[in-house]
A and B are shown apart, each in its own frame.
Chain A
Amino acid sequence: MAASLLIEDVDAAYGAVRALDGVSLKVAPGETVALLGTNGNGKTTLMRCILGLLKPTRGRIAATIEGTTTELVGRSPEEIVDLGIAIVPEGRRLFPRLSVEENLLLGAYRRSARAAIPRNLEFCYDAFPRLKERRSQPVGSMSGGEQQMVALGRAVMCAPKILLVDEPSVGLAPILVARTIEKIAELKEKLGLTVLMAEQNFHQAIRIADRGYVLVHGRVEFQGDSPAALGDSDLVRKFYLGL
């Protein structure tokens, strides 16, 4: 059974600086939802709230996984990830001095992921043959595109039900951005994931998104129920695409 994510009326702040203002959104089972908006509008802050790295000052965040709904606010990141919510963080956050395989295996640290290691490792190496070739190479010596593959692979090793992806395109050449986005769609399809993806690259994001929300100054200013609706929105055209 696929998982879902619900965010209701969330406020968050860094000290006195308000970062999120009454954000509500929902990711239904099996959906890919894009969280759009340029830098500094609250996408990463929302990801941090979902993961328990930042405590919202108000509002509710809940995940329903295998029929059980869990309130996430107040839980530690370790507990939240252990529910089956994996993240591909912005900047990838790999362990540069460890090898590809050591990075991947660290993804499977949580007990419920360990049983699935042989299957998930094979899945990673099938999806990213390059990683198999370089399995014993330190990650720090690899290119940005290869590191992004390791980051996606490490999230797969977590055996997640919900996948959060934060700015997968940052620091990648355009052709690699397109490939990364396609890989996310492929992983989602094959593993039956529910995906919430924060991304500035609008055209790439809506290639794989079912729906999307646009964050402007910490508020949801627009929600589009289809990629086409997002592309047609005046707000998106004006603020986001500069048309």
Chain B
Amino acid sequence: MDPDLALLLNGIVSGLLLGGLYAAAAAGLSVSFGMLDVVNIAHPAFMVLGSLIVALLWAATGLDPLLLSILLTPAFWALGAAIYVAYHHFFERRGDEAIQGLAFFFGVMFIIEVGLVLAIGPEQHFVDAAYANTTWRLGEIDLPLRMLVPALVSFAAIGGLVLFLRRTFTGRAIAAVAQDREALRLLAIDPVRIKRLAFGISIAMAALAGGALVVVQPVDAWSGHVFIGRVFAVVIMGGLSSLGGCVLAALAFGVVENVTASFYGPSWSPAVAFGCLLLVLAVRPQGFFGRTA
């Protein structure tokens, strides 16, 4: 095979796998920012919190890190629900959510990061999953399981979330809550309860994404920073409340970044990827799957 073609194909495939990680990181934000109108800028910090707890638990038990992250989800759900209760009580209820709510989540982000440094130190943590050093080969295309397994787990989790939102009463109410809160009350549905549940789900998704992240790369307390711009870009490009759009945008973002890095060097990749975001928004302001209505 032509070496350039092989490089391109490998760039695309590993970009798709990187996109799987981005999808995991962005799916929870698509719920909180896209559906609940809660600008949770601390979402990547929750992901890093998940990563580091998984790393500690892995060091203690030797269990599979992705399994550990799944086991963490109930605790993260409860944490998310508690944070929403505080956010609602102090900001949303008074209609102060726009700027002061943003400041609140900015503060939450710093508290998580500093708390992590104080509790477990500033150094990088890593895990060694059983499959981390295995790479499948399809012709000249590499499929490292270190990337493939987290991507598949995150797609499965997002698929489950999509089914939950479409098929259950609570899921449909979550999809409706940002569209008209008062109308929900007129259907005997408490919008605050629904948002609490949904915010818990979004933080539980951050725990899963954290498990995926720490399998892919070593993580320190500040590893979330590079994700903040990316996850918001992915959610916006996907059309805010559409999880399908979010996955598509994450994959596109991963591929563009990775192919750019392969051919022109990694310093170009964020510029090109965010340039593509601007282009998409210029042509389709509502994002890939955003609905104008």
A51 touches B172 (CB 8 A): no
B188 touches A114 (CB 8 A): no
Chain B: CB-nearest residue to A83: B188
Chain A: CB-nearest residue to B189: A109
A107 close to B (CB within 8 Å): yes
- Contact flag A97-B190 (CB < 8 Å), given A102-B172, A105-B172, A109-B173: no
For chain B, the bracket of interface size reads 20 to 34
Q: Mark A98-109, 1 if CB is under 8 A from B, else 0.
A: 100010011111
A53 touches B182 (CB 8 A): yes
Q: Which of the listed residues A51, A77, A81 has the most CB atoms from chain B within 10 Å of its own CB? A: A77
A98 touches B179 (CB 8 A): yes
A93 touches B183 (CB 8 A): yes
- Contact flag A109-B169 (CB < 8 Å), given A78-B190, A97-B293, A102-B175: yes
Chain B: CB-nearest residue to A142: B293
- A96 CB contacts on chain B under 8 angstroms: 179, 293
- Contact flag A138-B293 (CB < 8 Å), given A89-B183, A98-B175, A109-B169: yes
B187 touches A158 (CB 8 A): yes
Chain B: CB-nearest residue to A96: B293
- A76 CB contacts on chain B under 8 angstroms: 185, 190
What is the bound-complex CA distance between A109 and B177, given in angstroms? Answer: 13
B187 touches A154 (CB 8 A): yes
- A108 CB contacts on chain B under 8 angstroms: 169
A121 close to B (CB within 8 Å): no
How many positions in chain A have a CB within 8 Å of any CB in the partner chain?
A: 30
A114 touches B291 (CB 8 A): no
**For chains A and B in complex, what number of residue pairs have CB atoms within 8 angstroms?**
75
A183 close to B (CB within 8 Å): no
Our pick among A53, A93, A106, A141 for the contact of B172 (Cβ within 8 Å) is: A106
Q: Mark A52-91, 1 if CB is under 8 A from B, else 0.
A: 0100000000000000000000001111011000010100
Our pick among B166, B176, B190, B293 for the contact of A106 (Cβ within 8 Å) is: B176
B241 close to A (CB within 8 Å): yes
What is the bound-complex CA distance between A215 and B179, given in angstroms? Answer: 32
B2 close to A (CB within 8 Å): no
What is the bound-complex CA distance between A153 and B184, given in angstroms? Answer: 15
B183 touches A109 (CB 8 A): no
B4 close to A (CB within 8 Å): no
- A77 CB contacts on chain B under 8 angstroms: 185-186, 188
- B184 CB contacts on chain A under 8 angstroms: 106
Q: How far is the CB of A182 from chain B (nearest CB, A)?
A: 24
Our pick among B166, B172, B179, B189 for the contact of A78 (Cβ within 8 Å) is: B189
What is the bound-complex CA distance between A139 and B173, given in angstroms? Answer: 15
Chain A: CB-nearest residue to B241: A97
- A107 CB contacts on chain B under 8 angstroms: 187
A95 touches B241 (CB 8 A): no
Interface residues of B in 169-226 (CB under 8 A from A): 169, 172-173, 175-176, 179-180, 182-190
A135 close to B (CB within 8 Å): no
B169 touches A89 (CB 8 A): no
Q: How far is the CB of B275 from chain A (nearest CB, A)?
A: 29
A141 touches B293 (CB 8 A): yes
- Pick the 5 closest A-B CB pairs, nearest first: A140-B293, A93-B183, A81-B188, A110-B188, A77-B185
Residues of B at the A interface (CB closer than 8 Å) are 166, 169, 172-173, 175-176, 179-180, 182-190, 241, 291, 293
Residues of A at the B interface (CB closer than 8 Å) are 51, 53, 76-79, 81-82, 87, 89, 93-98, 102, 105-110, 114, 138-141, 154, 158
| 21 CB-based A-B contacts, threshold 8 Å | A53-B182, A82-B188, A93-B182, A94-B180, A94-B183, A95-B175, A95-B179, A96-B179, A97-B241, A97-B291, A102-B172, A102-B175, A102-B176, A106-B169, A106-B172, A106-B187, A106-B189, A139-B293, A140-B291, A154-B187, A158-B188
